[in-house]
Structure 1
Amino acid sequence: MKKILSICLLLGLGACTFAQGRLPSRFNLPANSDTAFNLPGKYFQVLRDTGMALTFNQVRTNTWLAKFEGGEKKYPPGHPMSSHVLWTRYLLHNRANKAKEIALSTEYSTVDFYFRKAGEKWLHKTTGYRVPYSKRNDLKLINTVTYTLEPGEHVLIYERQYNNWQTISPGVRIGFARTTIQQEYISERKQTMKLVLALIAGVVLFAAVINFFFFFMIRERVYLYYGLTLLFGDWCYFHLWIQDLIPEDPARSSDAGNTILLFAIFFSLFTVRHFLRTNLHYPRWDKFLHWLSWIMLIFVPLAVIAPNDRFNIIRSIPQVIIFTVLGALAVTPLLFLGKRFSEARLFLLAFAPFVAFLVSLLITLGLKYRGLQPYLASVMLFSVLWAILVLSWSLFLRFKRLLNENARQALEKERMAREKETERNELIARQKVELEKEVQERTAELKQSLHELKATQAQLIQSEKMASLGDLTAGIAHEIQNPLNFVNNFSEVSMEMLEEMEEEMGNGEWEIAGEIAKDVKLNLEKINHHGKRADAIVKGMLQHSRSSSGQKEPTDLNALADEYLRLCFHGLRAKDKSFNSKLVTDYDHALPPVSVAKQDLGRVLLNLFANAFYSVAAKKKRLGDGYEPTVTVQTRLIDQEIEISVTDNGSGIPQKVLDKIYQPFFTTKPTGEGTGLGLSLSYDIVTKGHGGTLLAETEEGEFARFRIRVPRD
């Protein structure tokens, strides 16, 4: 029966040959070997689909069958006849006495396989790294399809190979399913290699982290660029896991891997430039490398995503640019051979195996010598590891040297700082002695000035007590107002500055303390000047003052208020005959006697009456006969307090200054007509001397009312 089938197959294939053109010679599969092999060129034919539009039905027409060529004829990449789509056909015969399950693998984007035995229909299978996982056939993970040939069977196979990255070189590799599965899935060597690769990926990732740490420590950009190079290079390994995560979108994961690799090459250029300092030694070459890196980063992705053209010009751009970049990486350290530059020698040592890998790659890609392909992965792995180890060690030594240099500079700065500190301490010590002496002198002067100031304040208070006795007090108060203000202000500032100076001296800031001492000296001179001026005024005023004993005694407040009201009114009338005012009294005759300092409280009433008369007199001058000046005095008992209120219908007090009327030296009267001490002293006498309150009520332009409240007991 098998002989009959074989005869039928031969007759069928003969008919196909007669109708469709001469098929390639059939190839007899080895009977006793399952080792993969490359099919000799005379056993397969190829058709270059430069337009990338032919279908399977079209290539089997007489028009295209005649254009199939022998597999021995090859075209270099970039040749007008080279193509991204290649149709291949061949005949396989199983002459063994057992079934053979062949395995056809691919490294291209997409490959469609069409199988046909005699008397059967065409069987279509597809695979490839850009084919979605669910649409692949057979051994999906390794992009392999299988086909079983029974003993004595023949099969005609068509392959449509498509590669989006570079043109395809003719070739057919025949493997066997059992051996392929053993090597890819079961082999301990394969699994060990995966573990080794994973370990290496972890080491590279750790090296990237270390370089990032070095960068943040010393801010040398070479560590940043080298760390990024390692990181993106390491991602090329993890990119394989991305394919497993998104198996239905292999194109995206493939593009992601290419992009990651592109960034790794991009940052490797920056690493070389900063590692060898090409900007210092070869500025023009450095600019060339700079622009080359950006050209690669921009134009390579554009060329990859561009549509395939007939002559493969656009598709050749990425290869040209990348090989230019790799060549520039190899040439750069050679420029430093004439210089005694140790880092360039280390760089050459690091990339010597990598150069060997490039040579192997060029031979494999340019000459299509597939015998080297099994060793390329090992060469590349060794060269990459060697480069990483040597460069990492070199950068570590550089980091150590920079740390030592920084430490030496820090020690030198510390030594110089100690010397300057010693000199500064000696200077401060000398200045401290001088300053302490000067401070003692100024402190003594300040104490004397403060003593004189207190005496002056006491004299001013005493002079205010005599304000109702004549014009002398008003004149003296006006004269003493300005110097006393200066003395108070400068004394307060001096006290604050002395406290600050003591604080700075405690902190060792002698220069700042010296500056403060100079300012204190100036303040003391001003205090001395104004104090002497005030002293001269006060001495004249003391001749007209008299003291109060402050002794409290039961007093009829109605009589006291009425006495001082009349005294003040008649005193003002004596000085100004034109002055007149209506006096209104409302005394509570049921008031009990109250224990007060009669003389002090009388001065308070005298100040309030004088202010009221002054206000109504000023308003009378302004309004004329249509206005009647009125001053009202009222006493009454409120709970446990006695209240005396003084009200006038004068100009009132502006609301904006109402909170300031009890402040010393504040007055609403024109200059020369008030000292600003009357209400201040009155407030102290009522609140501090008698434990009472002094309240003001006013409406500007209408009235002013002051309420004195003192405890009943």
Structure 2
Amino acid sequence: MDILIVDDSKLNLNIAQDMLIENHIQCSIVLANSGEEAISILDKMHIDIVLLDIVMPGLSGVEVLKIIKSSDKYKNTNVIMLTSLRDKSILKQCFELGASDFINKPIDSTEFIARIKASIREIFYKESLEGAFKMVSSKNKKLSEANKTLRETQFYITQKEKIVAVGELAAGIAHELNTPLGYVSSNFEVFKKDIEKVKDIITMYHDLISQMNALGIENGDIKNAVDKIKNEEKSVHLDFVLEDLDGLIDESKDGVDKAAEIVRVLRNFAEIEFEPNIKLNDLNSIIEEVLLITSSEYKGKITVEKNFKDIPMVSCSRGMISQVLINIMTNAFQFVKISYLEKGGKVTIETSNDDKYVICRVVDNGPGIRPEIMNRIFNPFFTTKDVGEGTGLGLSVAYDIVVNKHNGQLVVENNKPSGAIFTVKLPFDYD
């Protein structure tokens, strides 16, 4: 406990100091002969209680009191006025300014010690209350953070369950589609072979008719039958049909193959992974699959340019890295469509490698990322989209997968003159 006694009378200073010592008040005592000296001492050291004479030359006690109570630095300092004045209006002014008590002069030992002890108790109570308040505030903050974490976790679990449900649904649909696609694909192979056989027979018929004409066979019935066949061939444009059949079959077969590829990719994507299933994978192949899945986001709307290098295989979880690239590319497509589509929306996907990493860069010419939110975009539940349009989990999940589950790097920066660049780096050696 530090007590400052301020009085222009050295006698009063000594009397007050002696009373504190004689009554065993546990404190450090500092003396000041003027208001100016008191302010100087308060600026240099911590003081708990100020015993302040009201009437002093220079700065009066009232003026010193105003200075003390006008600063937050001294907000916990108790000020007890020392006065021989009987003017209650002065005391009233002092209490209004923030004085906690007063002591009459000449100083009476019993009154003096009683008021000092009361002030000390007040300080202890105040400190105890502040400590309790800080503890309650700290606990309340922790509870609020725990509650927020609980809500976020609950939301995440809900989203996770939805992803699992979507994955199961996608896997079921893919399985159901795969069977008829298999039939159709197999039948096309048989159909193509059968058509070739039919074309061979038709060619043989044509050869036979040509030979008959060359031999001059004049049998009326045969001639009529041949003429009828020729007329029928003309009416159905048989030559054109036979020429077009190969193209139709090939195009149909390509369509079935593409549908089968979509189903294959869908089945791969439907295998939701919450823990890494690490295998050697071709990152270029993963990107191609992701572009197939997200094609509805950009086809006919955005130019997608691929600059793929011949990169080595990398150890990674195919499903998880697919999720990362889907989240990043979908964001790029959406922001380009919203803001820069009329200017020629473009997303460029580049792959390369250095001595340590296989690298994928997704570059768009959208609006870019505002500098003030650059360091927040990977935070869970942070989103710049309207309520109901985004969960704020996409980039957070991507960051967690790349950095925490693959020991890689996920970096974002703004592009010049506009747009953003997301760089995914996956290490060759996965530990």
Report the TM-score when normalising by structure 2: 0.43
For the pair shown, the structure with the greater C-alpha radius of gyration is 1
